[in-house]
Amino acid sequence: MENATSTLKIVISGYGKMGKMVEQVLAQQGIACVAKTCDVAALDDAVARDAVCIDFSTPAAFRANYAELARKFKAVVVGTTGWYDIKQDVFAAFKQAGTTLIWASNFSIGVTVMSAAVSLISRLLGAAGGYSPYIVEKHHIHKLDAPSGTAKTLAGLVQAGMGVEPAVASVRVGEIAGIHTVGFEGACDRITIEHEAFSRQGFAQGAVLAATMTQSLAAGIYEFQEMIVKNLQ
């Protein structure tokens, strides 16, 4: 029986450091990368039609191109952040086109598990009372958005569980791949949970995994973290 990944064709949108890391992971897994582009609108429709696009472009580029992504490709995996204020418009474009979208603020499996833990801790401490939440996120100086999409997602989980909005601080220094710390400060103690990415490889591996998952999904809008947590439970 033919391996499902052997028929998978990938287009990388946004060929910066993350795009290059995605290309490396594709090569390691024997998955075809049929195009790399920083201008997805200019890509030949015939190339895009049978391909899954993995987008790690920029917030501005994704905002300009999401309708074109939905029109061109059979499925799209979006790791770009900084567009969540237009989330409903993006989702509507993909639904109208009948194109599968998998999106995430962070494609790391470790961050996915951390998010599930933060959600549980927030619900328990929200019921107990007496704790104040905060988030500190640290990234490299090239990151364009602050707070990070992951920090915003974690903040949403905390707010849902505790009913209060956590304080969020962003640090941009050096070449830090990504560190997210969530803390819960009480009068007598403190709980902290932290995830540190050693490199961009974990994000790329998760995005490629998502691309392979599109082959067995019905057309729709999927959040990667929800899919992974459901499969792990």
Q: What is the pLDDT of residues 197-223, one digit of tens each?
A: 999 999 999 999 999 999 999 999 999
Q: What is the pLDDT of residue 231?
A: 80
Mean pLDDT of 23-42: 95
| Cβ atoms of 230 and 213 closer than 8 Å | no
Q: Give me the chain's average pLDDT, please.
A: 94
Superfamily of domain 109-196: Dihydrodipicolinate Reductase; domain 2 (3.30.360.10)
pLDDT in tens, 172-190: 999 999 999 999 999 999 9
Q: Residue 88: which pLDDT band, with cuts at 50, 70 and 90? A: very high
What CATH class does 4-107+201-232 carry? Answer: alpha beta
Cα 31 → chain centroid: 20
Strands (E), the chain: 9-13, 32-37, 52-55, 75-78, 100-103, 131-139, 167-172, 179-186, 190-196, 221-223
Please report, rounded to a whole number, the percentage of residues in the chain having pLDDT higher than 70: 97
Q: What is the pLDDT of residue 4?
A: 55
Please state the domain extents for the chain.
4-107+201-232, 109-196
As annotated, the active-site residues are 139, 143
